[in-house]
Amino acid sequence: MKKKIELSPNFSKKTRPKKDIKFVIIHYTGMQSEIESLKRLKNKRSKVSSHYFLNRSGAITQLVKDNKVAWHAGKSKWKNIVNLNKFSIGIELQNRGHRFGYENFPNSQIQSLIKLCKFLKKKYHIKPENFLGHSDISPLRKVDPGEKFPWKMLSNYKLGVWYKKKYLLLKKSANKNKSFFKNLYKIGYRYFNISKRAKKDRLVIKAFQQKFSPNKITGKIDLKLLKISHFLANN
């Protein structure tokens, strides 16, 4: 796999065993150019990095070796795991993000990402459900890679999960909210109380919608969203 190496100083020096690498976390840079993105990822003062950076044309730059912990996930949770940095490979995609004019992800960039993820999946035996977005593991503070990211396409390569429309058979639930958050908890999402609702729950709902219902990001639960969560929690 062709890649350029430009090492960042922003990583933990201790070498981690291969078996610890269980996740791939996908981000967007949220910056206005490739130069600006790489400058930040390699700036010691920023204390931010990733293992890989993919520009708009799909060229891959490795910034941190796989066996080192890059600083890309920050405060994060998924299932019973806290601090996903220790157990993941971080991939940054060049994209201006929601702040500077969110762009579609070019096919060349996505095809390169698929190739890289397939390589990582095979090398580290990463499960399909462990290919996640930054907003999955940090829904209260992150929205990347956002609603334009093609999760459905990646799921065709078993690089993520998706639902099957013909199996969305769930009938109406007596307690839609509680059922939805029970499903999310089973899938792996955190940062909420199953039984008690709070304002921040809208951010968790939106993170799920960005991924699985990108044309309707309301922060509100409807029957279709409940059905999707039910399918993913039980398949």
CA distance 58 to 60: 6
Residues ≥6 apart with Cβ < 8 Å to 58: 106, 108, 109, 110, 111, 112, 113
CA distance 169 to 103: 34
The one catalytic residue among 36, 92, 103, 147: 92
Q: 221 by DSSP, 3-state: which?
A: coil
User: Which residues does residue 54 pair with via DSSP β-bridges, in sequence order?
Assistant: 60, 93
Residue 147 is a catalytic residue: no
Distance of CA 3 to CAs 57, 66, 108, 109, 201, Å?
13, 14, 15, 13, 40
DSSP H or E stretch at residue 172 = none
DSSP 115-157: HHHHHHHHHHT--GGGEEEHHHH-TTT--TT-TTS-HHHHHTT
Q: Describe the crossing of helices 176-187 and 223-233 by its angle, rounded to 10 degrees.
A: 30
Q: Which sequence positions are flagged as catalytic?
A: 92
